[in-house]
């Protein structure tokens, strides 16, 4: 470039509609901060945050310690809890999305057009996080993660999958190493007994409303249409009860509590027994996903959401380009995270099929 000339790229400070580009960049960073604070309510209700590649997690909600009757002269027998803990690993990877813009584009683009690009990236970030969490839910095989600092290798377990691990006993319920939470219905159409099996299994491990857990069952509309017909009067164990505010008509007297209209950002279809039923196209037809939530970021939640140990590198970040005076040019968005099962008994997937279980291609 000849010396003594000012290129238009050097003097561009505003968008086509007069918005200061540096102020707009700062605004987009604020949007990223808001995204990190709110994240996805769904994810928060089923995950627990961690920053290390492995965490030792108790796999039971109960305890085998018990009081004994006291005597006048004796002393109580010493008790030592025998916690059933597993070293649960979690993956970690970096993901980025470059938003490259030339000064010519910025000269002609309005603030609304620039913000629309940012909103598209925020939506892509939501999809990325949701898909990775659901990929962990549907995956029926164990994998491994290597600690980049120590080269130590840790197991990233799936939910109970019959790999020989014996789930801890709970309230007299005993299990063996073939116990699995990846099941098939044995038929091509869902029936109420499938939901009964899911709810009963969660209760057998202590995941119930009595212990502060909410079981949520996610289905596609194909299964949802069938679930909404379940009635005690028709021979089913429980009634499907529509959620609050739902348009619904039934000549039958339905027994059960009303579920909230929304939960975790999803519209609730209704309730069956203790479980909320959520119908969403994000669940492939032919699958039923059940998760036990202890609340927002509760330690009893089924999935770990791992982020970088350095807090400044956590969440979705907007990184400026290599021109400090023009941060929007060549800027990019980045997030580092990973997932892993935290509680092997707090989630279950049932495939509606007579064959063997296989994960859906959408989340494979």
Gap between the Cα atoms of 158 and 137, Å rounded = 8
152 CB neighbour count, 10 Å cutoff: 12
pLDDT for 259 equals 80
| DSSP bridge pairs for 98 | 332
Look at the pTM and tell me if it is higher than 0.85. no
Helical pair 111-138 and 21-38, crossing angle rounded to 10 deg: 30
Gap between the Cα atoms of 200 and 347, Å rounded = 13
Query: Which residues in 90-146 belong to E strands, given as ranges?
Result: 93-98, 143-146
Please report, for the chain, how many H helices and E strands are present, in that order. 7, 18
Q: How is residue 167 annotated by DSSP?
A: P
pLDDT for 126 equals 87
Tokens 């997030």 sit on residue: 335
Gap between the Cα atoms of 102 and 81, Å rounded = 64
For every one of its 364 residues, what pLDDT tens digit does the chain have, with 9 covering 90 and above? 444 333 344 445 665 666 666 676 677 777 666 665 545 677 889 999 999 999 999 998 755 555 667 766 666 665 555 557 899 999 999 999 887 777 676 677 777 777 777 888 888 898 899 999 999 999 999 999 999 899 999 999 999 999 999 999 999 999 999 999 999 999 999 999 999 999 999 999 999 999 999 999 999 999 999 999 999 999 999 999 999 766 554 555 555 567 888 888 788 999 999 999 999 999 999 999 999 999 999 999 999 999 999 999 999 898 887 766 656 777 788 999 999 999 999 999 999 999 999 999 999 8
Q: Which residues contact 181 (CB under 8 A, 6 or more apart)?
A: 159, 160, 161, 201, 344, 345, 347, 348, 349
pLDDT for 11 equals 40
Q: 329 with 103: CB under 8 angstroms?
A: yes
With H, G, I as helix, E, B as strand and everything else as coil, classify residue 182: strand
Query: Which residues in the chain belong to E strands, given as ranges?
Result: 47-50, 54-58, 85-89, 93-98, 143-146, 153-156, 182-184, 214-219, 240-242, 262-263, 266-267, 270-272, 275-279, 287-293, 303-306, 317-319, 332-341, 347-351
Domains of the chain (ranges, CATH numbers) = 11-62+84-363 (3.90.1690)
DSSP string, 282-293: TSPTTEEEEEEE
pLDDT for 321 equals 75
Tokens 């990184």 sit on residue: 319
pLDDT for 255 equals 54
Task: State phi, psi for 143 to the nearest 5 degrees.
Answer: -140, -170
Residue 249 structure tokens: 């008509």
DSSP string, 322-342: S-TT-TTTT-EEEEEEEEEES
């Amino acid at each position: 470039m000849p010396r003594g000339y000012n290129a238009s790229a050097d003097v561009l400070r505003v968008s086509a509609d007069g918005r200061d580009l540096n102020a707009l960049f700062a605004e987009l960073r604020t949007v990223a901060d808001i995204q990190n604070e709110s994240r996805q309510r769904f994810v928060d209700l089923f995950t627990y945050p961690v920053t290390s590649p492995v965490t030792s997690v108790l796999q039971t909600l109960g305890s085998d310690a018990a009081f004994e009757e006291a005597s006048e002269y004796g002393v109580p027998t010493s008790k030592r809890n025998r916690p059933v803990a597993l070293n649960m690993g979690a993956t970690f990877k970096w993901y980025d999305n470059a938003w490259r813009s030339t000064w010519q584009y910025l000269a002609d683009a309005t603030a609304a057009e620039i913000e629309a690009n940012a909103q598209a990236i925020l939506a892509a970030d939501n999809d990325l996080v949701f898909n990775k969490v659901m990929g962990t839910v549907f995956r029926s095989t164990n994998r491994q993660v290597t600690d980049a600092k120590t080269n130590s290798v840790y197991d990233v377990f799936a939910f109970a999958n019959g790999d020989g691990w014996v789930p801890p006993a709970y309230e007299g319920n005993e299990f063996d190493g073939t116990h699995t939470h990846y099941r098939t219905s044995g038929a091509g159409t869902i029936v109420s007994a499938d939901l009964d099996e899911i709810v009963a299994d969660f209760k057998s491990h202590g995941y119930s409303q009595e212990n502060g857990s909410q079981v949520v069952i996610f289905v596609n509309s194909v299964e949802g249409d069938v679930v909404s017909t379940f009635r005690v009067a028709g021979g089913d164990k429980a009634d499907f009860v529509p959620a609050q505010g739902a348009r619904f008509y039934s000549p039958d007297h339905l027994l059960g509590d009303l579920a909230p209209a929304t939960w975790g950002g999803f519209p609730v279809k209704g309730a069956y027994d203790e479980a909320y039923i959520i119908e969403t196209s994000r669940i492939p037809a032919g699958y039923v996903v059940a998760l036990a939530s202890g609340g927002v970021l509760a330690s009893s939640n089924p999935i770990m959401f791992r982020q970088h140990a350095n807090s400044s590198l956590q969440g979705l970040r907007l990184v400026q380009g290599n021109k400090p005076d023009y941060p929007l040019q060549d800027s990019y968005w980045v997030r580092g995270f990973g997932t892993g099962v935290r509680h092997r008994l707090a989630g279950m997937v049932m495939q509606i099929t007579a064959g063997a279980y296989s994960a859906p291609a959408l989340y494979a």
